[in-house]
Amino acid sequence: MFSCLIVRFTAVVWPMVQMDPSKSGFVGSQVELRCIFVNSNPPVKISQVTWQKVVNGTKHNVAIANPALGVSVLPPYKERVSFKQAAVRHRTPSLEDTTIVFSNLQLSDEAAYICEYTTFPAGNRENTVNLTVFARPSTRMTLTSPTIVARAQKRKTTVATCVSANGKPPSIIRWDTRLKGEATFQETRNQNGTVTVRSNYMVIPSRETHKQKLTCIVTYRSEKITDSVVLNVQYEPEVKIEGFDGNWYLNRQNVQLTCRADANPPVTVYQWKLLNGSIPSNVEIKNNTLFFRGPVTYDLAGTYVCDATNGIGTRTGIVDVNITEYPNNLPVEDPDPSSDLHNPGAAIGGAVGGVVLLGLAAILLFVFLRRRQRTFKGDYSTKKHVFGNGYAKAGGLPAHPPMPKNLQYPDDSDDEKKSAQIGVTGSDFDADGEDLKRPYFTVDEGESRDYDERTLAFQYDPEPELADDMISQTDGSVISKKEWYV
């Protein structure tokens, strides 16, 4: 007979302490350090819970919770550390949640903290959390001086400083400005673990840097802090003289010279003088302006100097004035107020009159040309062209034979009428009958087509005498009066 041995294995759960691996907070804020005891099965008895701070490898008690004795918080944490659960504070045996709360967190609180459970019969169980404390920096931006003076030496000068003080971790500083300058950076580590970052911005102070804006941008972790200042740069006057346009001529009226000065602080004193002479007697001086009373004369010519003075120094402006007898092409004032420039009505009337005269001239020209126009009703082939004695083809045509002195159209022509006798003087021929100057001859319009590719050169003699019944045309031809109608 056999017997069976049954063995049961029961899972044993060991006690453990649950905590966050790390926590963080800012100086002056509040933070919780969680500590939860997970009991065993079978459960163990908790005798005491102790919070400890590890400093340089040494443990220092912070707070103790005992079921019988209650809660004890040690200095310097007595006013700032407490247990979160009210049951722990009221001496109950329930110590499974012994989370502590830090109030008014300080940089010195940064450390590793141990939550240790004393149990029976399992012994001690513990875990650790790392606490990090951040310090938000204080940021400020200042001008090196309320007023910065531009010196003649043109050296770089620190004009503004941006500081991010007592920050943890340290900040990053950068500058935003249109000014061309140079930035320097310096970090200082303080005894409490914070870092102070300082940056100086250097420029060459000048008139151009006055009223320019400087912005400091401080980046702390994910935050951005900005601050701005506007430079106040003092500089000597920048002087120029206005008013002389290069067109001062005799008898011109109402001329003046004005001394313009850009300065910070503003100019307090203006002084005028004329080199190699004295200011003319007809000149009135009012602060920064010379008013020349009366007409311009040659006595006004010379080199005028204006000295402008402010709290930083004195600078000078110079202009050379020359006088001409007559005005140049530059626009000048018309001394005669009754001229057309001062009388718009007269100018407009003159313009209208000119337009009317042009219109009348155009009408007369049109009528004249119209009266000269004629309408040809006959056969165009009856027109006869009279060419000069230079009629030749390119390359030269053979000379025409001598022609009779009297040229006549045939008597039996129906379309053409007899032309008047064209007289030719005997001087046109030499003794042998050779033509020194060719006589005029006629060519029908149709016949002229044979000369399309020829080059015609005309030598014109005085107009020949025409018969009474013939009319000379503008193209050189002659037409019988009977063939034309008005």
Q: Could you give all domains of the chain from N- to C-terminal order, each with its CATH number?
A: 16-134 (2.60.40.10), 138-231 (2.60.40.10), 237-321 (2.60.40.10), 360-486 (no CATH)
Residue-level length of the chain: 486
The overall average pLDDT reported for the chain is 77
Distance of CA 26 to CAs 20, 23, 134, 244, Å? 18, 11, 5, 70
- pLDDT tens for 109-154 read 999 999 999 988 888 999 999 999 999 999 999 999 988 999 877 8
Neighbours of 239 (CB within 10 A): 22
Provide the pLDDT confidence category of residue 446 given band limits of 50, 70 and 90: very low
User: Residue by residue, what is the 3-state secondary structure of 171-237?
Assistant: CEEEEEECCCCEEEEEEEECCCCCEEEEEEEEECCCHHHCCCEEEEEEEECCEEEEEEEECCEEEEE
- pLDDT tens for 255-278 read 999 999 999 999 999 999 999 889
Q: What is the mean pLDDT of residues 80-106?
A: 83
Which residues, listed in sequence order, are joined to residue 273 by a DSSP beta bridge? 305
Can you list the alpha helix ranges (DSSP code H) found in 264-342?
none
Query: What is the structure's pLDDT at 481?
Result: 58
Quick check: 158 pLDDT over 90?
Answer: yes
Query: What is the structure's pLDDT at 153?
Result: 79
Query: What is the structure's pLDDT at 23?
Result: 96
Quick check: 419 pLDDT over 70?
Answer: no
Q: What is the mean pLDDT of residues 434-445?
A: 41
The region of weakest confidence among 15-19, 74-78, 373-377, 448-452 is 448-452
Distance of CA 323 to CAs 151, 244, 298, Å? 39, 11, 6
Query: What is the structure's pLDDT at 348?
Result: 55
The region of weakest confidence among 215-229, 286-300, 431-445 is 431-445
Tokens of 284: 């009135």
Query: What is the structure's pLDDT at 357?
Result: 78
pLDDT: which is higher, 439 or 280: 280
Q: Give the integer Cα–Cα distance in Å for 319 and 314.
A: 17
Query: What is the structure's pLDDT at 426?
Result: 41
Tokens of 60: 């220092």
Query: What is the structure's pLDDT at 476?
Result: 60
- pLDDT tens for 200-248 read 999 999 999 999 999 999 999 989 999 999 999 999 999 999 999 999 9
For residue 33, count CB atoms less than 10 angstroms from its CB and return exposed for 0-12, middle for 13-18, buried for 19 or more.
buried
- pLDDT tens for 354-366 read 766 787 777 887 7
For residue 306, count CB atoms less than 10 angstroms from its CB and return exposed for 0-12, middle for 13-18, buried for 19 or more.
buried
Residue showing tokens 């650790």: 128
Q: For strand 111-120 and strand 233-242, is the pairing parallel, antiparallel, or unpaired?
A: unpaired
Quick check: 41 pLDDT over 90?
Answer: no
- pLDDT tens for 369-412 read 766 554 444 444 444 444 444 333 334 444 444 444 444 444 44
Query: What is the structure's pLDDT at 429?
Result: 38
Q: What is the mean pLDDT of residues 154-170?
A: 94
Distance of CA 32 to CAs 101, 134, 136, 299, Å? 4, 15, 20, 95
Neighbours of 134 (CB within 10 A): 19
Quick check: 323 pLDDT over 70?
Answer: yes
Query: What is the structure's pLDDT at 341?
Result: 44
Name which of 469, 467, 464 is nearest 480 in CA terms: 469
DSSP assignment of 227-265: EEEE--EEEEEEEEEE---S--BTT--SEEEEEEEEEES
Q: Give the integer Cα–Cα distance in Å for 403 and 447.
A: 19
Residue type, 244: F
CB proximity list for 8: less than 8 A, separation 6 or greater = none
Residue showing tokens 């004009």: 159
Quick check: 159 pLDDT over 70?
Answer: yes
Name which of 47, 50, 101 is nearest 77 in CA terms: 101
Q: What is the mean pLDDT of residues 414-432?
A: 41
Q: What φ, ψ does residue 89 adopt, rounded to 5°? A: -70, -20
Residue type, 186: Q
